[in-house]
Amino acid sequence: MIQNWASVCVRCHGPDDNGSKTEGRAFFHNEAGYSTFTASGVALNSGLVVTSASLLRPFLMDKLSSYGEMVLCANSGVDVLFESNIDDDGNESWIIADLITVVEAEGMLSAIRRLTGQDSSMWAFGWDSNKRQIGTDLSSIHRFSLRNVGIAGLAILRLRKSMAEKSLLLDGRPALSEQHPYHLSIPSIGKKLTLHGSGFGLIAPSVLINNISQGVVANIIHPYRAARRADQQANSLILTDAKFLPGMEGGAVSWDETGELAGLSMLPIRRTDGEPVDISLVIPAACIISAISPFLTIPKQSLLPDHIAALNSGSLVYARQAVVMVQVGQTWASGVIISKQGHILTNAHVFTSFLDNISNRTWPNLRNGVSLRVRIDSPQQQQWVDDCELIFVSESCWDVALIKIPETCVLNGFLPFLPLRSKDDISRAKPIVKGTPLFAIGHGIFGPSSGILPLVTSGICSKVITHNKQPVMLLSSAPVHRGNSGGVLVNADGSFVGLVTGNGKTSTGRTITHLNFAIPVEAITTPINSYLADEDRKWLDHLNTPPIRVDDIWCLRGVAPVWEALEKVHQVPSKL
């Protein structure tokens, strides 16, 4: 494992007479014809520093050198700040660094192509919602170049020797060299990690250097869809729900359990329509080792079998396999298989605008021309199922719909499902209370064209709302995005505890990804399990008649405060 590393702040400056180099940047300093930016980096005890090439791109020459390399323009430079090089008075001792090379993080552009699907115009990298950052052209990612170097480029720096010898002490840990071989841990879904970086570091480096953010592995994107060998898995793009701040790009990412280096943060990906994407991208450690290997002799140990198996074991992985993608017309959502016969639970609101005007919700029909299909993901393959039956669409606050796929649609005998536990089973289990760790699993953000498996995001139970001492609503902080509707909330054991229905929104309609609502399984398990037992739809009708107070809770009906009116007051519309 790679434990001999340090998180640093990296600064780059260069000539910029008209400020054009600052486009798309969240923060910059422009003075006397120069612009300055900061990012984060990973320092190794060999004197090498690795950072995101997006930091340097504004000052890279537009033409490659005679050796075909990317080089900095005249009068530009890079320096590095270690937290240990800041004294008690806040004085900073920056170390000058030389750019050795800029290389592609192997496989990352292919993984990005999988994420964005066919329509790259819907996606952008960087921080500015109106202007794209230089070097982040998604339309060019079929081949690594200056146009996309800010997305998947790694800048390899070497600290000036005389200054580095005085300053570079990584807690006394040994150098990454031939005397110290390493092995790489393969990422697994739900594994805890920490992002290290100097968010907003340009403002006050001595104060804001090396802050951290924690989360879990939300997804693993193999560049070439099916990664069978361990080395292919280790070279896969990592998605995490850890919060990411401007200036943290290029920063170290470590595994919580061991402290070893897991990878390096990329620029954030975002949707051009403004829909929030609270997911961070991580270049894996294997890509970093590959990038610096020409400059070091590093003997590589084999990947251990238990690391390889970690991707295919655990209740969280099984729960994820039971989550499907539901596509209705041109929209998509999530669903969860709840029986071995292929019954799928999802949200009613997914279908509301696609139903005809004749059928009732207990015997629903889609309008002519509207298709319904479900995608099942097995460890070996993905399968779209077209001949699905829409059984039930709730008309009440219980935002529940039921689908059934043919029993013949089993992938090589594989059809994972998460059964709805009986009330007796639930009463014997540990209750979900405020603060209970929870995971949201669903097809958020990335639609059908991406072909990727469901995202897993982490959080806690923010609140349990009850009626007659029974849970009727769960609030969770696990980030939920567009496409997560009908996904699941599971606890740390992988048990199905809630059906995700949606997010909170501001008065302007902006989605609050860290406030989501879910139906507790206790509230719906009796009618649905009764239907699964005899397929009599009268049981499902019970979901259309919730108590009035439960309806008030789900409609967020409150009582507005009433005050005695003041004279000659200008009434401003409330934002509730």
Residue 544: predicted pLDDT: 92
8 Å CB contact between 503 and 425: no
From the CA atom positions of the chain, what is the Rg in Å? 26
Residue 427: predicted pLDDT: 80
Amino acid at the residue 182 = Y
Residue 32: predicted pLDDT: 87
Residue 555: predicted pLDDT: 87
> For residue 451, what is the domain's CATH number?
2.40.10.120
Please check whether residues 335 and 275 belong to one and the same domain: no
Please check whether residues 290 and 332 belong to one and the same domain: no
Please check whether residues 226 and 345 belong to one and the same domain: no
The range of the structural domain enclosing residue 515 comes to 317-554
Please check whether residues 437 and 507 belong to one and the same domain: yes
In a domain, residue 567? The reply is: no
In a domain, residue 517? The reply is: yes
Please check whether residues 334 and 295 belong to one and the same domain: no
Residue 541: predicted pLDDT: 92
Residue 415: predicted pLDDT: 83
Q: Structure tokens of 315?
A: 């209740």
Please check whether residues 469 and 415 belong to one and the same domain: yes
Q: List Cβ neighbours of 38 (8 Å cut-off, separation of 6 or more).
A: 9, 10, 11, 12, 27, 55, 198, 201, 202, 205, 247
Please check whether residues 11 and 143 belong to one and the same domain: yes
Please check whether residues 352 and 224 belong to one and the same domain: no
In a domain, residue 573? The reply is: no
DSSP 327-355: EETTEEEEEEE-STT-EEEE-GGGTGGGB
d(CA 304, CA 311): 13
d(CA 348, CA 4): 51
In a domain, residue 564? The reply is: no
> For residue 512, which of 478, 465, 464 has the smallest C-alpha distance?
478
Our count of domains for the chain comes to 2
pLDDT < 50 positions in the chain: 166-181, 301-313, 572, 574-576
pTM of the model: 0.84
Please check whether residues 245 and 334 belong to one and the same domain: no
